[in-house]
Chains A and B, each alone.
Chain A
């Protein structure tokens, strides 16, 4: 009984003590640290300091590096009723008032701008949006992430807000300058709040990127924290670094504000790839559901595939001349087929001209096709069967071990590390088809005599093989550069950059490609510092189940009359999501001879 009473008393008193923690305790709390964007060790830069790079975000002069000083100064600034500072920092106010027991019925009654804004952003659901990889832009190659704030109904996401973190650049900057400054941290990054419909237009329509939408398991209170804090970040500058402190990284910080202690940033996050943001949230069970939004070109493809070859041809002709809708051939088709053909023609013409100025001619044709669609039954877009979620794909880093034999030389063993991210033979589940992006791919080779030598170092290798069809005619291209072994009297390490463009097609599981190729090589045996060469890069890919095959050749003729080519036959078996076995047979041709090499490689994907 006495113990019971003691317990009751204790339970009375403990919360009473806990209700007024000291400021130094509060300064250490995960919510305060999150509100200040203190780096818990996720990047080496600015460790235990705030990522915010803007004096207006701090009350204390030492606020960036001293959470306690900032807390004390904030407490001073927000304590007074009607304090203007409350209107700028509603989340900080909420934190202090809850922790210190401040009583104020209407703490923001004097904050007109904030109240107006807050009413407009009355979201009750937060969704992480991942527009898939877009190879034609360096900053979107790995995809992008943004946050969507929904106001209620599932079906009305067009009225939702998108929270986007990006670099703020001026229009005058050209892209090369951007890339440099983006990498080096020369741009300030800011949060922006834009209508989600603009983002759909941008990604799904203009850039033909599929979008994945992940509903976050945050309750109303957590979402309110997030929105209130968002207001505190209005016009606040962060540094923007392409590799780590990018769009994805900053969104994790926002989620950390909504749910402190979720430890999203507790591990070192170098080269934050957007898909890993999705994984980080998924692993902590913060994702409750997933929705796939196909791009406009995927929708066109799904519609088109319902038609046979001659019907597709007719739909294509209809887009050029909508009057064909009156022709006997068109009228001979069943009504449902005519509806699909009209929808295909309309969608095609909109897609084909999406990046051009409006012309009266295209507008007239488009409108005629729209009217035709209206006169026929609706032709719903068939759903993409089993779309592959990007976060279920293989890990972004790779370690490989291989053994092989080279003609005329001893057996060899190799160790390979790749920082990022995917090549055409890797397990393609969850990745964009025909897209290869490799950054920092290094292979060391050791022969039986024990020497370890650098076999190759790909600094970057990007390949976009986008299939062409009757409707869409994308260009395929590639660019790569680094160090590799090539023949010049003997096998030597040469420095090179090469790239090219051409076309690719898709028939069932076969994807042939043909590209022109130019190469600049720095080779100590060549007379000139840089020796240009030109040639072709062609081959065919075949995919079936867990097996991916490639037969390809690339060859160059150099200005110093050297000639070199390499042909490869390779197959990879995706044993599991994170493990692959690859076999390759390669023949390197040169003027007056050739070498064959066989290699078997085990590839382990992680992170």
Chain B
């Protein structure tokens, strides 16, 4: 159960925060498939200085340049799916059944190497359930992943 809680936290399963905008306003940039906020001026400046804008981050729970910190855990406070663009990458990997984003997700959920192929295949088969439309939130995605894993003999143990 603990692993699921961690994963839920990683994915930013706090509905209130996620439904608004993954990462929160002022965090990240670019057009997101699912949700997000464009922050090109921020991005441009970060590029210009090869670094960070405003409050520098140091992997700490506070001061993470406006990104959502409600999820706790991974990256000491920033939720993985809540990070700009990550949910989109996870969706793309699930659609095709493989990729770095999907691996990162399974590693963060504590899924052992020998079960990862099964996890990838399961996510691929159930893509339509997990991502029913383009307005799905990270919390809903996480809930669906858990539901799908519950039904699976090999993977349900990671929820126990």
Contact = CB atoms under 8 A, between A and B. Distances in A.
A546 B74 CA distance: 49
Contacts of B36: 358
Given A192-B56, A247-B50, A159 B108 contact: yes
A170 B47 contact: no
B49 A370 contact: no
Interface in B75-97: 75-76, 78, 80, 83-86, 88, 91-92, 94-97
Contact of B28 (A166, A201, A366, A373): A201
Given A182-B49, A358-B38, A161 B128 contact: no
Contact of A370 (B28, B52, B95, B108): B95
A356 B95 contact: no
B103 A155 contact: yes
Interface string B12-41: 000000000000000011111111101011
Q: Give the interface residue-count category, chain A.
A: 35 or more
A379 B51 contact: no
A324 interface: no
Contacts of B59: 117, 120-121, 161, 193-194
Contact of A178 (B43, B49, B52, B104): B49
B28 A198 contact: yes
A187 interface: yes
A355 B54 CA distance: 21
A193 B58 CA distance: 4
B27 to A, nearest CB: 10
Contacts of B94: 374
A140 B46 CA distance: 11
B144 to A, nearest CB: 14
Contacts of A373: 92, 95-96
Interface in B105-127: 107-108, 124, 127
B54 A190 contact: no
Contact of A155 (B38, B58, B97, B100): B100
A161 B35 CA distance: 25
Given A175-B48, A192-B58, A201 B84 contact: yes
B5 interface: no
A363 B30 CA distance: 13
Nearest to A139: B50
B156 interface: no
A158 B104 contact: yes
A356 B51 contact: no
A581 to B, nearest CB: 36
B143 interface: no
Interface string A154-182: 01111101001111111101010011001
Given A117-B60, A171-B42, A195-B75, A164 B51 contact: yes
A74 B80 CA distance: 39
Given A193-B58, A350-B88, A367-B33, A120 B76 contact: yes
Interface string A365-377: 0110011011000
Contacts of B28: 198, 201
A173 B44 CA distance: 11
A234 B50 CA distance: 18
A373 B131 CA distance: 13
Given A155-B100, A165-B51, A166-B51, A190 B56 contact: yes
A49 B5 CA distance: 49
B98 interface: yes
A13 to B, nearest CB: 46
Interface stretch (A103-111, A202-210, A474-482): A202-210
A468 B45 CA distance: 26
B52 A355 contact: no
A378 interface: yes
Contact of A137 (B47, B127, B133): B47
A167 B49 contact: yes
A358 B92 CA distance: 17
B48 A139 contact: yes
Contacts of A358: 31-33, 35-36, 38
Contact of A357 (B38, B44, B76, B83): B38
Contact of B45 (A158, A178, A362): A178
Q: What are the 10 tightest A-B residue pairs by CB atom distance, in nearest-first order?
A: A166-B51, A158-B104, A367-B134, A193-B59, A374-B95, A378-B96, A156-B107, A167-B49, A363-B134, A166-B50
16 contacts: A155-B103, A158-B104, A165-B51, A166-B51, A173-B45, A182-B49, A193-B59, A194-B52, A197-B83, A205-B85, A235-B58, A343-B96, A355-B31, A367-B133, A374-B95, A378-B97
